[in-house]
Structure 1
Amino acid sequence: MKHLIKIITSIFLSIFCLTNTVFAIDLPEESLHYDISFLWFKKAAEGKITFKRNNTNNDYTAVLEAETLGFIGFITSYRKYIYISHLMYDENLNRLISIKFERIEIVGNKIWQSISSMDYETNKIINSVSFTQKLIKETIEDIPPTIIYEDILSALFNFRFGFLGNIEKGKNYVVKGIPDKGIVDYSIYVSSQEEEIAVKKKLGIEEGDGYMLLVKVPGAIFKSKGIVWIWFTKDLLPLTATVEDAIVFGDITGILTNNRTNLSLL
């Protein structure tokens, strides 16, 4: 059961990457909410992704939260994951730069936290791991020249906002992230028109204009085949995402339930 929330997390990391694509510095604030179902459990978990501007014009924060509910929550001690990406918009590079990435796992009263902090003036990355606020390990490593590390949220938002290039059917995108267990590459493929028709039929999605996104990650991360399908409307609103053949759980699907914008006004 401990792998379920990781699989759920993959849905939310993948599902948000094409939403409301823009090509301007004035990046939109937004919060998306999803219900997660698998087997006969119709609402086994829920998740939320937010993207919000900070006090300064060029600083943003992206947050992913996912947690199990009900019976599944009970048998997993209501496991919760929180990912926080601290971002800075670089005008020269025309992209978001991750300067700090936090990963928090909560199981009952136990809290694990890992932090990666990138300093591109000194070309150093500091990685720390703590358990219930007690530091367990800290390392300092060099960042190779010309390299800019992406956390998974910064990579997906850079893709979402068009900073990695135009979004086209039949095009593949590869993003590199902060090295973790030797895994740094994620493939993001926008299906061609012919491929889209076949996948929609397979997943039982009704006809309509939009984009079918295929995200490939190493299967070991989410204990699955490493394949996630996401369906977007023609206006680039992500409606559903499906993780194929997760161990024990089979296909897991997330469905959009709420979408909020202009968070600073709430």
Structure 2
Amino acid sequence: MNRRNFLINIAAIFLGAFALLWFPFTKLQQLFAAQRIFNTAPPLKPLPTSSQTTIGEAFDGEELTYDIGFWLFDKAAIGHISLKRKDDGRYIATLQAETLGVIGWVTRHRKDTYIAYMEEADNGKRFVTNIFDKTVTIGGRTSRTVTKLDYKKRFMSWKSWKKDKTIEEKEEEILPDTIYDDPLAAFYNFRFGTYGPIEEGREYYITTFPKNGEKTMYIKIAAKEEKNRRIHSSPDDVDYLADVIIDKELFGSQTGRVEAFFSKEMIPTGGIVKDMIFFGDVRGILVEMKSKLAFKKERGI
């Protein structure tokens, strides 16, 4: 093979690889992803409308799986969110994300795990967190932070470890008439309507764990015109676009900004964590689900 043909073949291989990486961002990939959601998920039932339905009953057993990508890599990691009821009546919410393949090798197979132990409050209208456990493993090194809340004693504490060595330990009083929601409790409370009805243009302020002063999680539902302007490819596939600002340290973001996409039934169909350190914008798209909620909107797939 002469030099010219060799270079042509190399260029063709490069372009082919580039096309494979770029292809997942096209409309066709979105349709295939949506097809997997609707065609492979178990049969779903609409959420009961009875006023007796509690938040735990609404979300118990829900499991959501996301493909996670950044840069030109569409499936650099996989993420799972689930909620299960324990025998003692409390609930465990788990968020776990783990890098895969080449990206897994580059990131030393990073694995992030967030676990919230929660109980129902206000006659089942909201979740309240008792324990929030965050663990990050990179290679053989693990860092962990556990936050405990006791609302009867109005007392909270948190402790952080890195490589089995305590690096921070602190206690603080819980202010009267105050509930601190971790991100997982807020995830379910928001979808259930605990903070108010889901409406375009509405803003929500959620008190979360204080660290160096009280912190607030902010959520705003974009107006329809803004949603359509910002989601260029398929705005009709997203019923609600929520802009979220959370603690920057939670996901290792430079800004704490998140864009979340929801169906009318408040199923989180995808999202973007903005400005993550080393990775930039990190995208997630729902690929599998098990939920008592149902897609009621007809889609031409």
TM-score range, shorter chain: 0.7 to 0.9
Partner of 1:210: 239
CA 60–209 in structure 1, closer or farther in 2 if over 3 Å, else same: same
Identify the match of residue 218 of structure 2 among 187, 198, 221. 187
* TM superposition score normalised by structure 1: 0.80
Q: Please state if 1:232 is matched with 2:262.
A: yes
Partner of 1:241: 271
Q: Is the deviation greater in 90-99 or in 167-176? A: 90-99
Deviations 1:186-211 (Å, cap 9, x if unpaired)? Answer: 2111111221211122xx23434611
Distance 1:73 1:131 in 2: 21
Deviations 1:147-184 (Å, cap 9, x if unpaired)? Answer: 22211111222111111111111101111111135461
CA 217–150 in structure 1, closer or farther in 2 if over 3 Å, else same: closer
Instruction: Determine if contact 1:232/1:239 at 8 Å carries over to the other structure.
Output: yes
SS in 1 for 2:103: helix
* Bigger Rg, which one: 2
Distance 1:159 1:40 in 2: 32
> Any unmatched runs of 5+ in structure 1?
1-19
Q: Please state if 1:129 is matched with 2:160.
A: yes
SS in 1 for 2:77: strand
User: Normalized per residue, which structure has more strand?
Assistant: 1
Deviation of residue 239 (structure 1)?
Answer: 2.1
Distance 2:212 2:126 in 1: 26
* TM superposition score normalised by structure 2: 0.71
Partner of 1:167: 198
**In percent, how many aligned pairs have the same letter?**
32
With CA pairs under 8 Å and 6+ residues apart, which has the higher RCO, 1 or 2? 1
Partner of 2:116: 85
Partner of 2:11: none
Which amino acid is 1:207 matched to? D
Partner of 1:155: 186
User: Normalized per residue, which structure has more helix?
Assistant: 2
SS in 2 for 1:194: helix
Aligned residues: 240
Q: Is the deviation greater in 133-142 or in 206-215? A: 133-142
Distance 1:248 1:136 in 2: 24
SS in 1 for 2:160: strand
Partner of 1:177: 208
CA 244–115 in structure 1, closer or farther in 2 if over 3 Å, else same: closer
Deviations 1:194-239 (Å, cap 9, x if unpaired)? Answer: 21211122xx234346111111236576434443222223333322
Identify the match of residue 44 of structure 1 among 76, 96, 118. 76
Partner of 2:126: 95
Partner of 1:254: 284
Distance 2:196 2:48 in 1: 11
Partner of 1:113: 144
Instruction: Determine if contact 2:253/2:274 at 8 Å carries over to the other structure.
Output: no
CA 233–123 in structure 1, closer or farther in 2 if over 3 Å, else same: closer
Instruction: Determine if contact 1:242/1:253 at 8 Å carries over to the other structure.
Output: yes
